[in-house]
Amino acid sequence: MRFTILEKIKAETPLAHLFNAYLSGLSTLEIFSTPRESMRACRLAFAAEARGDVPALSILDQAQRYYELTVLSNALGSLYWHIEQAAELLDKFYAEHGGDLTAYAKAHRRYMLTEYGDGEDADWHHNGTGDPEAGEGWEVTETDDPARLAEYSLHQELGRFFPDPESHGEYIGTSSPIDFHRFTVAVEHQTDFAPRKLFAAVGGVEMPLYRQDENGHMVPIPVIDQIEREINEDVANERLTAYFCAVLNAAQHLAELHATMPPDDAAGYALLHECLSNMLAVKLEAYPPF
């Protein structure tokens, strides 16, 4: 049986680590949301709730959490991929074309036509070698015409990573912090599920926790040490969720920038490049104002 909902991002960037830490913060919620029923128990539980017999642990609530966590996991994986790919495209643009938008469009047009064919008659010419009827000797006709280069522009290519009215799924700027709020609160308050608090809630008294000392003996952990650790974890979790929300806010700003910038705005691409690189490095304090 598959008991994992939250799939970690397989990358080593600070942003991947941030998203994975956020997902780890939902591990307790994942445990309580993952289905473990037999098909019979599942059928009977849904049927009971349909009749109005709602148990203490609602299978409808559990099903909703399972679906939401699955969407959340997919969304973070997709968002990360789009941020990474957009950043790599801009890296390549500056490395290979030095910021020259026309040079990029011409090279991209040449690649797309050569790789996938199609185009119009004016996009091709025969070089006099081979049999044209057999598809031999055809080469891409170069052009500087802005109208013919428009569909191969950097702006058009970057559009793959940002949402539009027809897009389905998670792109850069699709969702805002409010869309993740319920789960962000759970990540921020992970210590509510600390063993000390859980034992106290269930038993009504503090239950001793133990650790192994340097001699291999099990010794009780002082309550004050447990509380101090929880406070440190609370501070770390608050910092984690603050950065997480900052990434989502930055993504929305970038989506707006891409949607409104002129396709020939060199400064706009430089800003996109800087911000995407900073997002991958989680250097959000480096953002210039939008």
Task: Express each pLDDT in 200-211 by its tens digit.
Answer: 444 555 566 656
Average pLDDT, the chain: 82
Measure the CA–CA gap between 139 and 124, rounded to whole angstroms.
6
Bridging pattern class, strands 218-220 and 210-212: antiparallel
Residue 196 has pLDDT above 50, yes or no: no
Name the residue with higher pLDDT: 121 or 278: 278
- How many beta carbons lie within 10 A of that of residue 251, not counting itself? 25
pLDDT computed for residue 154 by the predictor = 94
Is residue 64 within 8 Å of 35, Cβ to Cβ? no
Comparing CA positions, the residue from 263, 80, 259 lying closest to residue 169 is 80
pLDDT computed for residue 274 by the predictor = 94
> What phi-psi label fits residue 44: left (phi over 0), alpha (psi between -120 and 50 degrees) or beta?
alpha
The token pair that represents 17 in the structure block? 């680590």
Terminal Cα-to-Cα distance of the chain (whole angstroms): 48
Average pLDDT of the segment spanning 81-104: 94
pLDDT computed for residue 123 by the predictor = 61
Is residue 206 within 8 Å of 223, Cβ to Cβ? yes
Q: Which helix (H) or strand (E) holds 212?
A: strand 210-212
pLDDT computed for residue 140 by the predictor = 63
pLDDT in tens, 61-82: 999 999 999 999 999 999 999 9
What string of DSSP letters covers 218-280? EEEPPHHHHHHHHHHHHHHHHHHHHHHHHHHHHHHHHHHHHHHS-TT-HHHHHHHHHHHHHHH
Average pLDDT of the segment spanning 144-173: 88
pLDDT computed for residue 173 by the predictor = 95
Average pLDDT of the segment spanning 138-146: 68
Average pLDDT of the segment spanning 91-117: 85
What's the pTM value of the predicted model, to 2 decimals? 0.80
Is residue 62 within 8 Å of 56, Cβ to Cβ? no
pLDDT computed for residue 113 by the predictor = 73
Residue 261 sits at φ, ψ, to 5 deg, of: -75, 145
Measure the CA–CA gap between 37 and 136, rounded to whole angstroms.
62
pLDDT computed for residue 290 by the predictor = 42
pLDDT computed for residue 287 by the predictor = 47
pLDDT computed for residue 34 by the predictor = 86
pLDDT computed for residue 201 by the predictor = 45
pLDDT computed for residue 202 by the predictor = 47
Helix segments in 98-130, DSSP class H: 101-116
Q: CA torsion sign, 118 to 122 to 124 to 128? A: positive
pLDDT computed for residue 207 by the predictor = 60
Residue 142 has pLDDT above 80, yes or no: no
CA dihedral 123, 129, 130, 131 (to 10 degrees): 50
pLDDT in tens, 236-261: 778 899 999 999 999 999 999 999 99
Strand partners, 218: 212
pLDDT computed for residue 133 by the predictor = 59
